[in-house]
Amino acid sequence: MTDRNDQAGISSEQLRTLIELANNSAWKNPDLDVLKPGPDIEYNELAQILQDLMRKSHRRGKLILPDLTAHGNETVAVFSDYAGESSGDHHTYSFLACGWNSCGAFLGKVAEIRKQFGMGEKEFAFKDFRMGQMQRALPEYLKAADMLLHGFLLTIVVDKRLMTVFGPNEKATLRQLVGVLETAGLGIWKPDSAEKLLRVVHTVAFLVALLARSGQKVFWMSDNDTICANEGLHRHALDLLARAVGVYSQGRKFSEFGGAAPFKDRSLGHLDLLSLADITASSVEHYLTLRSAAGGNDFEVKAGSPSVLQWLAHDGLLLSKMNIVLRPGDNGGIETANIEFNLTEVPDNIIEIPVMI
């Protein structure tokens, strides 16, 4: 969570308060060993990749995770959204894990932003970035998330040449996954949907096992799409999540466990959190696809996307971010890397908040 405090316009006392808040909210000496070795457990490659990249980022001093037990938080909530199914070179998945009981300040501020910019009940959505109100409100919405939302935003980009991250990169693996889910009583899925379901659910389960503690409540909200297309499929997805969390969390007990797709009766609070995953996944996928098509030439991204990409270039006071990419490697393997966005010009009015981890 680093920024410079040149010309930031805050007093020394205010800076000390921010430093104390950031340090009291960060997870000191995090235990990144989610995957515990055992004779009867074989972890999938996606989970192994997540753990490996987090360890490497931590060793480089690049990873700051939130302590989601801080500030009396009782519920760990995960909001997930996805991009790239209909076009582009990548599937992109964004996951916001946050302390639900400490979201009030953020949601209250977003309500003010809605009123200030005439947003009404319009959700922040990538597909509507060309709206004037959206473009004007977006920087303030992102700033509110950085300053007031206690959480961790993980974005996973998967090259579409990787048909699967759960076995050999071939269609036969997808068919096998369909059979495994059906045999386990988890419904009948199309091959591509089965792969997506497993990618999403195992990532959510990994984040829950990483960030939640025994006795806390766990809540997952996913965008309405193929893995939550109807109530039956959504129930199967929640069942699979419960099983995966049981494997990763190694005996931890959560007091309540549940999930939802966006409610028919609009809940702006939930949507304002889910929207952070939506605009992140879509902006990153949009940028990477245009960059690939440009072949090294200059290109212009959709209005609104620059605000999101610049926001991803730094951690916030309470919200940290991580972006990774998976692509085909040598000999049929998977090559992985962190994606880092950097500002070409660093603003003067930035605040540097040192966090000891």
Residue 2 lies in a domain: no
Residue 6: the pLDDT is 44
Residue 286: the pLDDT is 95
Task: Give the C-alpha separation, 109 to 197, whole Å.
Answer: 33
Output the pTM of the full model: 0.94
Residue 266: the pLDDT is 62
Task: Give the C-alpha separation, 197 to 205, whole Å.
Answer: 12
Q: List strand residue ranges (DSSP E) for the chain, in order.
A: 75-83, 90-99, 151-159, 217-222, 256-260, 319-328, 334-338
Edge-to-edge strand ranges of the sheet holding 256-260: 256-260, 217-222, 75-83, 90-99, 151-159, 319-328, 334-338
Residue 142 lies in a domain: yes
Residue 6 lies in a domain: no
Q: Average pLDDT over the chain, rounded to whole? A: 91
- Can you give the residue range of the structural domain that contains 253? 12-26+42-338
Residue 318 lies in a domain: yes
10: pLDDT confidence band, cut at 50, 70 and 90? confident
Residue 86 lies in a domain: yes
Average pLDDT over residues 170-198: 96
Residue 50: the pLDDT is 98
How many domains does the chain divide into?
Answer: 1
Task: Give the C-alpha separation, 99 to 347, whole Å.
Answer: 30
Q: Are 119 and 111 in contact (CB under 8 A)?
A: no
Half-sphere exposure (Cβ direction) of 346: Cα atoms closer than 13 Å: 13
Residue 346 lies in a domain: no
Residue 266 lies in a domain: yes
pLDDT > 70: percent of the chain: 96
